[in-house]
Every structure is written in structure tokens, then in C-alpha cells.
Amino acid sequence: MCTSASFRVNSPSVVHEVFDDEVVIINLDTGFYYSVTGLAAEIWTRIDGATPSDIIDDLASRYEMPGPDVEAAVRPFLDELCTEGLIVVDQPVSGERAQRLGTETADVSPSRPRFEAPVLHKYGDMQELLLLDPIHEVDAVGWPVRPNAANEQHPKNPA
């Protein structure tokens, strides 16, 4: 995994919604949807513009776990997000972003919360329905005309 480049959500193929402490993520290209809670949801909501080092350093400073252990838990999670096509490597970032990430989330209390490894829950039970979405299966003409149907002459609308 690249450590000097930032991440971004792979939109427009990937959409997400935050519900209290859970984030539901949908990959419109594959039809899979995902759920992340707790620390995984926290990572997801801060993924845009962050590097792996930004994320790991920030979590190590705020949670009760040594930095190498945080890295050992977070890197596979980030790799999984990349493998699933949910995030992509974007651009190299300046040190300003890393400083901003740490200051936005710094925990000033003397006791730090316990670290729990982030987990990505993957679901395929609605894959067929998500892939059948006719609104996203259009060309430049737009909905309700499907890409191949745009070139066909409809019997009710002769040209």
C-alpha cells in the first residue's frame, strides 16, 4: 500500500450514508453493500484526503494501543477497502493535511479508549437488485432509455 498518497472514496461508483454510529456503503458497480461501525466507521468518515500514515498516527495518538499494533490492524482494513473498490489512491498530500487530521480528532482526556480492530462487513443478498437499477443503466439520452434501447426505434414512437 502506498504511504505517501492520499485516499478518496471511489465515487460515483461508491455511495455511502452515515446512520448514527454505522456507515452503509454501496458499490454500484458490483452490487455488494457493506457496513462499518465503531472504529471502522470513524476511519471511513475521515478517508477522503488522508494517507495510511495519517490514519494510523491519528489512531495511535487517540487510542490505548501501541502504534505498531494499530498499524497491523488498520493496514489490512485499508487494503480490503481498496480490494473491494470502495476507495482509491488519489494524490500525494502535504504535511498540512496530516496536521489537520490530528488536531481535529485529538483526545485531550488522560485515559484513552480501548482500540478495537476495524472490520468491514460485506453483504451480497441484494446484489441482483442493486445491479438491476435501471436509473443507472442509461446513456447520454438518460432515463428511461437504456443504453442499447436508445438506438432502437420504439414502435409507438416512429422516427
The rounded distance, in Å, linking the Cα atoms of 63 and 49 is 21
Distances (CA, A) of 121 to 53, 87, 151: 23, 15, 41
Q: Residue ranges of the alpha helices (H) in 10-149?
A: 38-45, 52-62, 67-83, 95-105, 127-131
Residue ranges of the chain whose pLDDT lies below 70: 1-4, 92-110, 133-159
Is-contact 113 26, C-beta < 8 A?
A: no
pLDDT value of position 108: 43
Is-contact 46 105, C-beta < 8 A?
A: yes
The rounded distance, in Å, linking the Cα atoms of 155 and 146 is 16
DSSP state of 87: E
The rounded distance, in Å, linking the Cα atoms of 59 and 65 is 9
The rounded distance, in Å, linking the Cα atoms of 113 and 7 is 26
Q: Could you identify the residue written with the cell 453483504?
A: 123
Is-contact 85 70, C-beta < 8 A?
A: no
pLDDT value of position 10: 95
pLDDT value of position 151: 54
Tens-place pLDDT, residues 97-117: 444 444 444 444 568 898 999
Is-contact 133 143, C-beta < 8 A?
A: no
pLDDT value of position 134: 58
Q: Which amino acid is at 78?
A: L
pLDDT value of position 102: 45
Tell me the torsion sign for CA atoms 121, 22, 124, 138: negative
Looking at 3.30.1330.10, 3.90.930.60, 2.40.370.10, 3.30.1950.10, the CATH number of the domain 5-125 comes to: 3.90.930.60
* Numbered ranges of CATH 3.90.930.60 in the chain: 5-125
Q: Which three cell numbers stand for residue 38?
A: 465503531
pLDDT value of position 4: 65
